[in-house]
């Protein structure tokens, strides 16, 4: 299909409205809502499908800002019917992201009074800028108030920069499967497949940055198991495990991005136990492992809690050289990719995450053998889920001590990824998703 063909704006708008409505009015996750709508819109060109996804994500990232601007440009914005509000939101978001207001108004089918509203957006933006910082920041960052406060606590004077970077589109990162070859070989193989514009990641020695418009899954190199989609920050967290070819446990394996990375660290030797509570994700992991040529992984479904969970883990007690607990978390580090997650998070759900993280760390610590290491990680930027969970664990488990990440990653890389003993990554500092990692060593 011809990529320069003009978008059929009416079709794009209709699909965008349906997907956006699925997220905001029916509570679907953004990626599922888009998939659901786009699967049924078989007539859209690939450029149009991409425009739908980009516009819906762009609006979700800037939801609070857009709503503020519209409420200040339109006297009765709240009283408009839902669809008309959403058309205005999609239009305002496109203008906010640099599109020409006249073109946007025309392609959204807006008439007189609505166009006047769009013309007033710059004045509304000036009103936003004039607010006192404490009021301005949550709206400009498009974060719920309680999260905005936490961002300011974590990032201090960099809070605005941090939030801005969280509202950009994320790059597409892939990791070379080290069982097949190295990064340079992968880049050569991709070039042979006409994928020219890849560059090495700045921090991870295994990563490449790819053109986001690419469908990786259709590449032969993907089918042959040469690469996995994995954020650079996630790759660095995987590197903290530094897994020897003995017995290693990935305690919250999920669909297994890090599991496969650990298998490569172990050179496919030893025993790598991948545990999770979800059968569907485990099935994904088995498929991915087959594609990657990984055969040292043993998958095990474990009950989420209670005596059954303890019983399931009994054979591994005190047996593992490394245990990775990549804990379920608020996802505050991944807002670039899951922009709607910020509106679902509440102080209550955050407290539940923290309680679960503490419980998981304590439970899986029992698998670490004397002299072994427990690696704790999250894709959150909040202290409650990171440093505070580690401090709480150490207070109750004096047999564990912190090993500074620089000692695992080497001084040069260590300096770049955390000024203290922990790994701390964020989009505005490292260009990765937000991640935290800690290495805890059990006394011999």
**How far is the C-alpha of 294 from the C-alpha of 38, rounded, in Å?**
33
379 included as an active-site residue: yes
Instruction: Assign 3-class secondary structure to the chain.
Output: CCCCCCCCHHHHHHHHHHHHHHHHCCCCCHHHHHHHHHHHCCCCCHHHHHHHHHHHHHHHHCHHHHHHHHHHHCCCHHHCCHHHHHHHHHHHHHHHCCCCHHHHHHHCCCCHHHHHHHHCHHHHHHHHHHCCHHHHHHHHHCCCHHHHHHHHHHHHHHHHHHHHHHCCCCCEEEEECCCCCCHHHHHHHHHHCCCCCCEECCCCCCEEEECCCCCHHHCHHHHCCCEEECCHHHHHHHHHHCCCCCEEEECCCCCCHHHHHHHHHCCCCCEEEEEECCHHHHHHHHHHHHHHCCCCEEEEECCCCCHHHHHHHHHHCCCEEEEEEECCCCCHHHCCCCCCHHHHCCHHHHHHHHHHHHHHHHHHHCCEEEEEEEEEEECCCCHHHCHHHHHHHHHHCCCEEEECHHHHHCHHHHHHHCCCCCEEECHHHHCCCCEEEEEEEECC
HSE-up of 347 (CA within 13 Å, CB side)? 5
**How far is the C-alpha of 225 from the C-alpha of 338, rounded, in Å?**
26
- Is 326 annotated in a binding site? The answer is yes
**How far is the C-alpha of 180 from the C-alpha of 264, rounded, in Å?**
9
**How far is the C-alpha of 416 from the C-alpha of 430, rounded, in Å?**
8
- What are the tokens at 402? 């912190």
With vertex at residue 276, the alpha carbon angle to CA 274 and CA 280, rounded to the nearest 5 degrees, is 105
- Is 276 annotated in a binding site? The answer is yes
In sequence order, the β-bridge partners of residue 377 are: 326, 437
Q: Which of 108, 252, 329, 379 is catalytic?
A: 379
Q: Give the residue from 242, 237, 270, 264 showing the smallest Cα distance to 252.
A: 237
- What are the tokens at 310? 């303890």
Q: Indicate which residues carry an active-site annotation.
A: 379
Q: Which residues are annotated as a binding site for S-adenosyl-L-methionine?
A: 276, 326
């Amino acid at each position: 299909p011809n990529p320069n063909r003009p978008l059929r704006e009416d079709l794009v708008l209709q699909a965008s409205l349906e997907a956006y409505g699925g997220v905001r009015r029916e509570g679907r996750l953004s990626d599922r809502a888009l998939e659901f709508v786009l699967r049924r819109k078989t007539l859209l060109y690939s450029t149009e499908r991409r425009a739908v996804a980009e516009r819906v994500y762009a609006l979700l990232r800037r939801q609070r800002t857009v709503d503020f601007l519209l409420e200040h440009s339109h006297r009765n914005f709240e009283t408009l019917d839902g669809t008309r509000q959403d058309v205005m939101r999609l239009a305002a978001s496109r203008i906010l992201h640099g599109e020409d207001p006249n073109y946007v108004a025309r392609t959204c089918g807006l008439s007189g009074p609505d166009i006047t509203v769009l013309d007033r957006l710059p004045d509304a933006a000036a009103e936003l800028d004039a607010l006192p910082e404490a009021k301005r920041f949550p709206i400009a960052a498009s974060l719920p108030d309680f999260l905005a406060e936490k961002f300011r606590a974590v990032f201090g004077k960099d809070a605005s920069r941090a939030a801005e970077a969280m509202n950009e589109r994320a790059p597409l990162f892939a990791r070379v499967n080290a069982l097949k070859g190295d990064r340079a070989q992968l880049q050569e193989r991709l070039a042979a497949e006409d994928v020219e514009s890849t560059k090495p990641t700045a921090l991870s020695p295994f990563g490449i940055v790819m053109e986001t418009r690419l469908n990786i899954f259709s590449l032969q190199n993907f089918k042959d198991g040469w690469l996995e989609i994995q954020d650079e920050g996630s790759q660095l967290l995987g590197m903290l495990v530094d897994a020897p070819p003995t017995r290693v446990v990935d305690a919250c394996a999920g669909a297994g991005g890090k599991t496969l990375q650990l298998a490569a660290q172990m050179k496919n030797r030893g025993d790598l136990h991948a545990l999770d509570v979800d059968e569907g994700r485990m099935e994904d992991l088995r498929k991915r492992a087959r594609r990657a040529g990984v055969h040292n992984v043993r998958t095990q479904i474990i009950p989420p809690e209670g005596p059954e969970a303890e019983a399931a883990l009994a054979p591994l007690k005190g047996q593992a050289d490394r245990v990775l607990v990549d804990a379920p978390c608020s996802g505050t580090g991944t807002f670039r990719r899951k922009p709607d997650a910020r509106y679902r998070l509440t102080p209550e759900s955050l407290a539940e995450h923290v309680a679960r993280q503490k419980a998981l760390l304590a439970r899986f610590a029992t698998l670490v053998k004397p002299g072994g290491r427990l690696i704790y990680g999250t894709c959150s930027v909040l202290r409650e889920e990171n440093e505070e969970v580690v401090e709480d664990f150490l207070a109750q488990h004096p047999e564990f001590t912190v090993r500074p990440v620089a000692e695992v990653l080497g001084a040069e890389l260590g300096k770049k990824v955390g000024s203290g003993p922990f790994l701390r990554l964020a989009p505005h500092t490292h260009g990765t998703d937000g991640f935290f990692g800690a290495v805890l060593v059990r006394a011999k």
